[in-house]
Amino acid sequence: MSIHHGPDEKPYKAALTFDDGPDQVFTPQILDLLKQMKVKATFFVIGKNAAKYPEIIKRIENEGHILANHSWDHANFHHLNEYQIKKEIMQTDQLLTSITGHKPLLFRAPYGNITSSLEVQLKSMEHLLIGWSVDTRDWAGPDVPTILQTVTKQIRPGGIILQHCASGQQVNLTNTIEALPLIVQKLTKEGYTFVTIPELLSTQAYKMEP
């Protein structure tokens, strides 16, 4: 089963997550902002993008953020068989391990599409399936006030906030960049502390490889 939020308890915590990266345009800007604000986040990365920008993968980890698996090429798992699903996960695991020295244990399904085959594969590979409780839909290009309103409306203690950190066809994340400091400022004023997914769920992020 996918985990969509953490414990609903005080002190209030929330997790920022960023999907689909890395890229060389928006991911560095997000990392710059997070560094300025002293906030740690969780990045669900696509394998083929990580292969293009291994130096950004290293930066994500070196700056204290968590790396997680978001498949190799963001395929719709409803259209894949068991072998193809396993390959999507394993390729990304292997690539991230080659860059960082350890295998990610967190996984997020592309489009949030979860199948029984995926659940079986994740269990056998010791991965934890992570969803979200706040969907900013930033990939669709909402304006900054709309992004902020969505977060304000949907956030609850233990919330997992979904945003993106890589552009694509007809995807512009300029508003994501502008909204990020406002989200952090507003929720901090409301008593929230920002944590990574492993911190929120009291779980491991990686399996160390020999």
DSSP SS3 for 81: coil
Give the per-residue pLDDT at 168. Answer: 72
Sorted by where each starts, the structural domains of the chain and their CATH numbers stand as 13-208 (3.20.20.370)
Yes or no: say if 14 and 136 are a contact pair by the CB < 8 Å rule: no
Buried b (16+ CB within 10 A) or exposed e, 181-192: eebbeebeeeeb
Active-site option among 19, 23, 93, 138: 19
Active-site option among 5, 70, 74, 164: 164
pLDDT tens across 37-93, in order?
Answer: 999 999 999 999 999 999 999 999 999 999 999 999 999 999 999 999 999 999 999
Is there a catalytic annotation at residue 73? Answer: no
DSSP letter, residue 10 = S
Is there a catalytic annotation at residue 23? Answer: no
Kindly report the average pLDDT of the chain as a whole number.
96
pLDDT tens across 140-161, in order?
Answer: 999 999 999 999 999 999 999 9
Residue 205: is its pLDDT beyond 90? yes
Q: Scanning the structure block, which residue is given the tokens 């991965």?
A: 127
Q: Would the pTM count as exceeding 0.95? A: yes
pLDDT tens across 169-191, in order?
Answer: 678 999 999 999 999 999 999 99
pLDDT tens across 90-129, in order?
Answer: 999 999 999 999 999 999 999 999 999 999 999 999 999 9
CA angle 155, 128, 4 (to 5 degrees): 20
